[in-house]
Structure 1
Amino acid sequence: MVEARRSEILSLVQQHGELPVTELSKLLGVSEVTVRSDLKVLVDAGQVRRTRGSVRLPLDIRRESPIEETRLEHSAAKRRIGRAAAALVRDGETVFLDVGSTTTEVARALSPTLQGVTVVTNGLNIALELERLSGVRVIVTGGTLRPLQHSLISPYALDILRRIHADRLILGCNGVHAEHGVTNANHEEAEIKRLMVEQAREVVVVADHSKLGQISRAHIAPTRRVTTLVTDRGGTQPSAALRDAVLDLILA
């Protein structure tokens, strides 16, 4: 019971970014004394940090790297994951293709024989990658540019996405955890990703082995919402709990 409550605290903080202790007490139906006791354990474990009267996720002191740099990390694995995920796309589908270095590899691997496919993306570099495919119509969401990632965020991006229902979403992330779900380092991008999850029938998460078991700042979706997890065979392998949590697993 105690562990479940602490997991719920962590999940709530991931979703909101920061929460007052009084609000956590109300949401959990326990006293503020109990919440503070739980927070001490989470703080000692480095999973959250306390501010005056509130709790938030730990500071990530790493700078955000340009996508041109991150695509070099585990590049061979990302290419294999990209090919495996691209093979899931069928003629006539509407697909959300999320931003990121691994989803860029998906765009590069999409078959030139595809016909009648509509790809909706908030990634400018991904839209340019897809120009070569005559059978793919590309819709760019619009919104405010995040230069390092070539991604578009609110305002306006959400307005477009609310009007579209997709057969599948191919989703990038910074962490996939059996209990804490799919998470991302940037809150603004996570907002876009959450709406894509809501608007998609199937969710395909593409994540190299370094993302497995990791928890990042912003919650995207619970693991039970993941239809397929596509990862690589190198390094850390999915835990038994993670394998059980997703509907399907593809090792590229």
Structure 2
Amino acid sequence: MTQMNITGRATRIAIIANNKYQSRRVASKLFAAFKDDKDFYLSKKNPDVVISIGGDGMLLSAFHMYKKELDRVRFVGVHTGHLGFYTDYRDFEVDKLIETLRCDKGEMISYPTLKVRVTLEDGRTITSRALNEATIKRIEKTMVADVVINNVKFERFRGDGLSVSTPTGSTAYNKSLGGAILHPTMEALQLTEISSINNRVYRTIGSSMIIPKKDHIEIIPKRQGMYTISVDNKTVHYKNVAKIEYWIGSKKIHFVASPFHTSFWERVKDAFIGDLDS
């Protein structure tokens, strides 16, 4: 746990909510609590703290709204559905959140992010950042691509596609692909295959791999065509991708450290196992 410098000025608060009725109710309560409080200033421009109201998808959207300001912004999530992996507060715990922010001293919990760079055959490059994961798939036919890890040509992949996830994203799409769950404070990537072809002729590793922070992943498609590339909840289509690169970014996402912070393993248990019989 680290701490940001807190000055004597009012804390700038941005409130981002989805369109659900309960989310709007929570947003209204927070607006009412902060609008006449001299210690806070409500503004979506240059905030110190971003409050996301909704679900994990809403927090992903808030992350991408402020991804160029990660060095100075902290996030906090209010969940208006089931317990989410990025939220410490439920919709009935708004008073706890208000008290946390009034007592806030700048403490934060930080998780790594993923940098993604797509290079097209005409030389253009597109760089983006992911909080959960990035995937590449070929639209028309089986994807054939070389996988290079830290300049070592590891395998020639054949299948539907490949996913690279962060530790925080390990419980999302990565888990549905059979990948491992990583604690979000671990600075590592996870490379997971999507429906790989394994038979007497074609072979891949066939399991997810944990890649350390210092290593760099390259995926080099071997066939021309249209590719679908997803970065978190945003999807784009590119024709004739030369390569796509992944590495742990230098910038992290920062969350407001809370006395009500839910243990990661408690979240995993609640999401996938539920209550255990005694």
Same fold by TM (over 0.5)?
Answer: no
Specify which structure has the higher proportion of helix.
1
TM bin, normalised by shorter chain, reads under 0.3
Larger Rg over CA atoms: 2
Specify which structure has the higher proportion of strand.
2
TM-score (norm. length: structure 2): 0.22
TM-score (norm. length: structure 1): 0.24
